[in-house]
Structure 1
Amino acid sequence: MTQNLATNTTIGAASDDGKNRFATLTFERDVAAPVTVLWEAWTAPAARATWAAPSPSVSVEFQEADTRVGGREISLCKAEGQPDIRCECGWLALQPAVRSVNYEVVSCEGAIQSAALVTADFSGSHERSRLVVTVQLSSLAQDMEAGYREGFGAGLDNLALAAERTMVLQRVIRAPRSVVWGAWMNPETLPQWWGPEGFSCRTQRIDLRTGGEWVFDMIAPDGTVFPNHHLYIEVRPEERLGYTLLWGENGPKHADAWASFEDQDGATKVTLGMVFNTAAEFQDAKGFGAVELGLQTLGKLERFVTSR
């Protein structure tokens, strides 16, 4: 379980008219997940979408997400009977598993409510990690300190729980990014390598684009059939894709997943992440060897692209 170590607030200054308020807020969390997993849960858009809403009565709609230095994220926070809250986040620094810095501007009905500088520091090991988030807040239209404290606190609690049921697999593949992406996002080639050693794919429908889907069966070496349904939420060519995993066609959700592709000295670093729907499903997946089987899948991808 996540332990909330501290939520400290220090008021720096306030103007005479009371409309401009400045505060520094610090949030700390210990998380029962590797620091590399926590980093992915913090930065990957598909993962962020799973924990961003502070409560079940609020939904967050992502309109834009580009997690790289100079990129930005735009989301709408929606609650019944309330005007939408727009949040623009711009990434200023990204040091994987070490630190991120971003600005955040919150507005409502066209009026800016607040601006903030958010610094997140990561530390830890292969088993546990620690996150310290510092928010330097300027309230412009009204005092936003209490709302930030509540919203960030709830969001980080959600993040910690999501990280604890997140699986991240990585492999550096000895082929250019365009080649690796092409093998992944080609309806003819994807079924040829997808799945662990000895497994094969039987496709019913495949449409590899934003809003598309892949309905298929994974067939184990002993003939056991595992129905799958992938719904593609986002496709950014040669950068990343986000999708939802269902247990069979239109079945219950199994996980929110993503794959990202990065250049690395002529090779390609592939990151495959999954936030499982429940902690129990995550533990079941680990128990039957999902990490090892997933790494076998990435190994098959490498053999496929290097043998052609």
Structure 2
Amino acid sequence: MSRFATLRFERQVAAPVATLWQAWTAPAARAIWASPAPSVTVEFLEADTRVGGREVSLCKVEGQPDIRCECGWLELQPGRRSANYEVISSAGVTQSAALVTADIEGTDGGSRLAVTVQLSSLEGDMEAGYRQGFDAGLDNLAGVAERTMVLERVIRAPRQLVWGAWMNPETLPQWWGPEGFSCRTKRIDLRACGEWVFDMIGPDGTVFPNHHLYGEVRAEDRLGYTLLWGENGPKHADAWALFEEADGATKVTLGMVFSTEAEFQQAKGFGAVELGQQTLGKLARFVGAG
């Protein structure tokens, strides 16, 4: 029985480095690709993606004890490298500990991800399970990254001000949406487990029903939400927004994992990147930084 193993995995991903990095590290994206099989449900209990922060999740399979995974971030070099420890336990018994390092680099066709796992099995032989779990998870990750859209903008205003304009139910509808669009709100509650039901109204009067369901909300740090096609309609995408302090300014990163590759391509086709940048531009102007 092997107690120690070094496992290596590599994936070529048809997505830019910045997009792959968000898919690898953003909690909203990790929750999508983390499950190694359809029979496994992954529930995230906490997630703090900063050096010194940790992530705790439960892997659930019907009829079996939950498996607890604790991940602690040791190194985060955006777009380049991450390192974290990972401790797996079940029913209060620690089964394994591992050091996971990931290196990302750009390629002609997108990105290359190389992951090394230094594994110590404390309860039985965990190597085969780790190989299977990481192989499946990284396959999922590649698919998620390839239908993820990432927008970034540095806004010359303090993070508290930018966060306040986003998370205030009075101000969010005033700037949300591309140039020439307006919002008509039905219900709005911008807390965790809250929602925003609204219509986007285009310059020609076309109405686009929207429904945002809010998950995680960490003040002045990040929020995660689900986009539905109209009130209680089918899911369109899982999204997150990150707010990072940048020498007195605020770097805003908006990420979206579309539900299908077809929806991702359709969104790109009608100019979602440009329209999203217009939305962030309106936010900048709203806080007096445009």
Question: Which TM bucket (shorter chain)?
Answer: over 0.9
Tell me whether 1:262 sits opposite 2:244 in the alignment. Answer: yes
Distance (whole Å) between structure 2 residues aligned to residue 290 and residue 49 of structure 1: 24
Pairing 1:150-299 to 2, within 5 Å after superposition: 150-299=132-281
* Residues paired across the two proteins, number: 290
* 1:46-71 superposed Cα distances (whole Å, 9 cap, x missing partner): 01111000011100000010000000
Letter in 1 for 2:150: V
Could you tell me whether the CA contact under 8 Å between 2:156 and 2:289 is conserved in 1? no
Alignment correspondent of 1:44: 26
What are structure 1's unaligned runs of at least 5 residues?
A: 1-17
Letter in 2 for 1:114: S
Pairing 1:24-43 to 2, within 5 Å after superposition: 24-43=6-25
Tell me whether 1:122 sits opposite 2:104 in the alignment. Answer: yes
Pairing 1:80-159 to 2, within 5 Å after superposition: 80-124=62-106, 128-159=110-141
Tell me the secondary structure at the aligned position of residue 306 of structure 1: coil
* 1:42-98 superposed Cα distances (whole Å, 9 cap, x missing partner): 000001111000011100000010000000000000001111000000000000000
Distance (whole Å) between structure 1 residues aligned to residue 57 and residue 108 of structure 2: 32
Deviation at 1:24, TM superposition (A): 0.2
Q: What TM-score results when the alignment is normalised by the length of structure 1?
A: 0.93
Q: What TM-score results when the alignment is normalised by the length of structure 2?
A: 0.99
Q: Once superposed, which parts of structure 1, at least 4 consecutive aligned residues long, lie more than 3 Å away? A: none
Could you tell me whether the CA contact under 8 Å between 2:157 and 2:289 is conserved in 1? no
* 1:19-55 superposed Cα distances (whole Å, 9 cap, x missing partner): x610000000000000100000000000111100001
Deviation at 1:125, TM superposition (A): 5.1
Distance (whole Å) between structure 2 residues aligned to residue 74 and residue 228 of structure 1: 31
What are structure 2's unaligned runs of at least 5 residues?
A: none
Deviation at 1:307, TM superposition (A): 6.5
Describe the shift of the 1:109–1:255 C-alpha distance in structure 2 as closer, same or farther (beyond 3 A).
Answer: same
Describe the shift of the 1:254–1:126 C-alpha distance in structure 2 as closer, same or farther (beyond 3 A).
Answer: farther
Letter in 1 for 2:26: A
Distance (whole Å) between structure 1 residues aligned to residue 80 and residue 16 of structure 2: 12
Could you tell me whether the CA contact under 8 Å between 1:35 and 1:126 is conserved in 2? no
Distance (whole Å) between structure 2 residues aligned to residue 59 and residue 83 of structure 1: 12
Tell me whether 1:58 sits opposite 2:50 in the alignment. Answer: no
Tell me the secondary structure at the aligned position of residue 49 of structure 1: helix
